[in-house]
């Protein structure tokens, strides 16, 4: 710090004083220091329509979840209320121009077998062709254990009656998804009167399993 003479009163004063302490003469003005703050980082603007796209995706996901829940509920209701009924059909054998008449009924239950079969559904069939009537059982994914010439039997039960045995015979081709039941006349007679039927069939590597049918309403001559 140095001493200088005041231009106004000529008295010695400090060269750093902003004004003369004696006469008040303003010597100089100290510059005001301005602190410059760091620039604020600006967010990059979102692409046009970005928010709308996110909202659309969320809406689609919600709709998918609602749709799947509704389908599951409808399937549950269908299984509880659906009653299998007899289906009638006719077919003409093109070889000899003879008519085949069918009555078919799906089972009330399915059976889950081990790999490679999985869940299997069953159908009870009545067929009249060339003057003879057959009663046979088919499956969607299974392997029946049956015999030839009456060597194998299944048990059959109608309503609350005592079960009885009928023969279980393979097809002439040896297919494992179809088995013909004996005592056809007796079976059809009881099918016309009964409301429930149970067949205890034997399956490959599984043993005996029971198949249930709601047989009410059969119309067969």
State pLDDT tens for residues 37-59.
Answer: 555 656 666 565 667 788 888 88
Q: What is the pLDDT of residue 32?
A: 47
Q: Measure CA 147 to chain center.
A: 38
In the chain the first and final C-alpha atoms are separated, in Å, by 133
Q: How far apart are CA 40 and CA 38, in angstroms?
A: 6
Low-confidence stretches of the chain (pLDDT beneath 70): 1, 27-50, 75-83
Cβ–Cβ < 8 Å for 201, 168: yes
Query: Per-residue pLDDT tens for 70-107?
Result: 887 776 655 555 567 999 999 998 898 999 999 999 99
Determine how many CB atoms are found less than 10 A away from the CB of residue 192: 13
pTM of the model: 0.62
Closest by CA position to 125, among listed 100, 106, 144, 142: 106
Q: What are phi and psi of 15, to 5 degrees?
A: -70, -10
Q: What is the pLDDT of residue 39?
A: 59
Q: What is the pLDDT of residue 38?
A: 56
Strands 153-158 and 164-170: antiparallel
């Amino acid at each position: 710090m140095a001493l200088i003479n005041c231009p106004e009163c000529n008295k010695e004063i400090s060269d750093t004083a902003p004004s003369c302490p004696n006469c008040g003469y303003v010597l100089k003005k100290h510059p005001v220091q301005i602190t410059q703050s760091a620039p604020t980082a600006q967010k990059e603007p979102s692409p046009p329509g970005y928010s709308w796209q996110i909202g659309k995706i969320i809406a689609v996901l919600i709709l998918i979840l609602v749709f799947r829940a509704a389908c599951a509920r409808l399937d549950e209701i269908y299984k509880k209320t659906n009653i299998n009924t007899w289906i009638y059909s006719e077919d003409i054998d093109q070889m000899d121009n003879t008519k085949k008449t069918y009555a078919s009924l799906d089972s009330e239950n399915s059976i889950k077998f081990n790999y490679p079969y999985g869940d299997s559904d069953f159908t009870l069939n009545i067929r009249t062709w060339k003057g003879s009537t057959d009663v046979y059982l088919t499956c969607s994914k299974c392997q029946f254990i049956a015999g030839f010439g009456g060597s194998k039997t299944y048990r059959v039960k109608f309503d609350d009656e005592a079960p009885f045995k009928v023969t279980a015979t393979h097809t002439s081709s040896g297919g494992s998804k179809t088995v013909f039941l004996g005592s056809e006349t007796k079976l059809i007679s009881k099918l016309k009167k009964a409301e429930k039927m149970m067949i205890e069939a034997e399956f490959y590597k599984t043993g005996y399993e029971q198949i249930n049918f709601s047989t009410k309403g059969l119309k067969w001559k």
